[in-house]
Structure 1
Amino acid sequence: MNSSDTPLVSVIMPVYNGEQYLAQAIESILSQSYSRLELLVFDNGSSDNTARIVADYAQRDPRVRPLWEPTPLGYGGEVASNIAARQATGTFIAKLDADDIARPDRLAKQVAFLQANPDVFLVGSNLELIDSHGNTTGMRAYPLSHEAIFNEFYLRFPIANPSVMYRNVLKEDLYVIRFSHFNDYYSLFLLINSGLRMQNLPECLTAYRIHNTNTVFTNLRIKWRSNVAIKESFIRDFGYVAPLSQRIKIATITHIINLLPERILIKSMNKARQLIKA
């Protein structure tokens, strides 16, 4: 198999104070069955042992490229991901968060899919849910076809951002920073709305870790308001037509979140995910 058959994959991994799970995330990439890769680990102003862990791996494996920013850039790693992507040299770019795990055949299957489907810009997958110890607790399914993904964008983010691989062809940054949270949600809508095709694979190619330090579980009311503002922008700015059933579900969730105290919003959020099958 020559180099034209095995395009380089650039894996982007932003990390902020991620020493607890970082080594597992890095190992999951370096042990992929698809080995022609570079791993860009962007240390986003960490104050723990993240820098040492990344440096150790870079010494042992030349595919690891450490990147560093002394001051945290915020926005859930999206600014850091943009900076890393500008330095990516691969034909394809894959994302993985520093507390998640890529299954051994993830890159191979996504590269094969993109090569077989040249009209598709981005491919994601379903998520396996794991706890802080790596035990499987469930799965999260996503719509598979381009049309189904587009039709669910108001209801939820129908692509698992930690699972994506996309073609390194964009002239601008992947993530447009407009909102205080969830600019990945907004940005991928901009791309699919512009005509770029996206699909999800039915397998769980990434294990998404749910633990008590997930940033998704902080400031829930503020983050939900940002989520709703993004949904409203789809309709207001782009003429997106959201089905009435989806709008009723989102209105119901909003009422629950506004009604309950912050301390029990995590449970209500999980109920909301069940309601919308997210």
Structure 2
Amino acid sequence: FRYAARIDAGDLAAPQRLAKQRAYLDAHPRVACVGMWTQVVSRAGEPRFMLTPPADPRTLRRMRFLRSPLVHPSVMLRIDAVREVGNYRAKYRAAEDLDLFLRLMQRYDCANLPELGLYYELNEGGISATKRRRQLISTLSLLLRHFNVLNPYDWAGLAKNLLHFVTPYRTLQRIKRTLFAARRSA
């Protein structure tokens, strides 16, 4: 196999997702990982908000800590590149995906297709909710390990992650819902 695609239980791939990602990887040999935009839905399937990370590899690399560079269950990975940098590592618990993406970005490009590829089920029992503190500690460790003092987005990402660390999860979810609702109506 040349490629591997990710998806989580409860999530649903948009039609043609895999074909589009495979075609993109076939056409872009320097790209090790390609994700897609994601519609976050409730357990009942009601749309909540869209995740639209940058498409361009350069922008994605620059903004890697300000927002998630790739939506993990939306990605297709080039197997040889993953073998080269090493697979998921337990060293950064609950942020193994970010660790892998950062290591891939050191040697390759990563990108996102700027179109809907996944319906992601928001789950209060998921890692982002149940292992939040561990995930934030791992994310901050990765941020410090890969920190570029000349990149203003790394500074903004540090501030954002520290704010997440001290803000209760439910409060953060309310803020996100409000911001995404305001953005949707604008």
TM range (shorter): 0.7 to 0.9
2:78 corresponds to which of 146, 167, 171: 167
Say if 2:90 is the partner of 1:205: no
Q: Which residue of 2 aligns with 1:224?
A: 136
Q: Per-residue deviation at 1:251?
A: 2.3
Could you say which structure has the higher helix fraction?
2
Please give the per-residue CA displacement for 1:109-137, whole angstroms capped at 9, x wherever unaligned. Answer: 11111222223222111111111012222
Query: Is 1:146–1:198's contact at 8 Å kept on the other side of the alignment?
Result: yes
Amino acid at match of 1:114: L
Secondary structure of 1:93's partner?
strand
Q: 1:267 aligns with which of 148, 171, 174?
A: 171
Q: 2:30, 2:109 within 8 Å by CA — same for their partners in 1? A: yes
Name the SS for the 1:169 alignment partner.
Answer: helix
Contact 2:143 2:158 in 1 (8 A): no
Among 185, 208, 231, the residue aligned to 2:98? 185
How many residue pairs align between the two structures?
178
Residue 22 (structure 2) aligns with: 111
Q: Which structure would you say has the larger Rg?
A: 1
Contact 2:94 2:127 in 1 (8 A): no
Q: Is the 8 A contact 2:39 2:50 kept in 1?
A: yes
- Root-mean-square deviation over aligned CA pairs: 2.6
Unaligned runs of 5+ in 2: none
Q: CA deviation at 1:248?
A: 4.2
What per-residue deviation string (whole Å, max 9, x for no partner) do you get for residues 71-118 of structure 1? xxxxxxxxxxxxxxxxxxx22111111121111210111111122222
CA deviations over 1:153-186 (Å, ceiling 9, x no partner) = 1223211111111222143543133122201101
Q: Structure 1 residues 249, 93: closer, same or farther in 2, change over 3 A?
A: closer
Give the one of 44, 51, 55 matched to 1:133. Answer: 44
Cα distance, 1:242–1:267 mapped onto 2, change above 3 Å: farther
Instruction: Structure 1 unaligned segments of length 5 or more: list them.
Output: 1-89
How far apart in 2 are the matches of 1:198 and 1:245?
Answer: 17
Deviation (angstroms), 1:147: 0.3
Higher relative contact order (CA 8 A, sep 6+): 2
Q: What SS is found at the alignment partner of 2:111? A: strand
Question: What's the TM-score once normalised by structure 2's chain length?
Answer: 0.82
Match of 2:13 in 1: 102
2:59 matches 1:148: yes
2:68 aligns with: 157
Q: Secondary structure at the match of 1:159?
A: coil
Deviations 1:19-73 (A, max 9, x none): xxxxxxxxxxxxxxxxxxxxxxxxxxxxxxxxxxxxxxxxxxxxxxxxxxxxxxx
Stretches of 4+ moved more than 4 A in 1?
272-275
- Seen in structure 2, the aligned counterparts of structure 1 residues 269 and 241 have a Cα distance that, compared at 3 Å, is farther
C-alpha spacing 1:134/1:179, structure 2 compared with 1 (3 Å): same
Answer yes or no: is the 8 Å Cα contact 2:35–2:70 preserved in 1: yes
Matches within 5 A, 1:43-54: none
Per the normalisation by structure 1, the TM-score is 0.57
Q: Distance in 2 between matches of 1:128 and 1:192?
A: 25
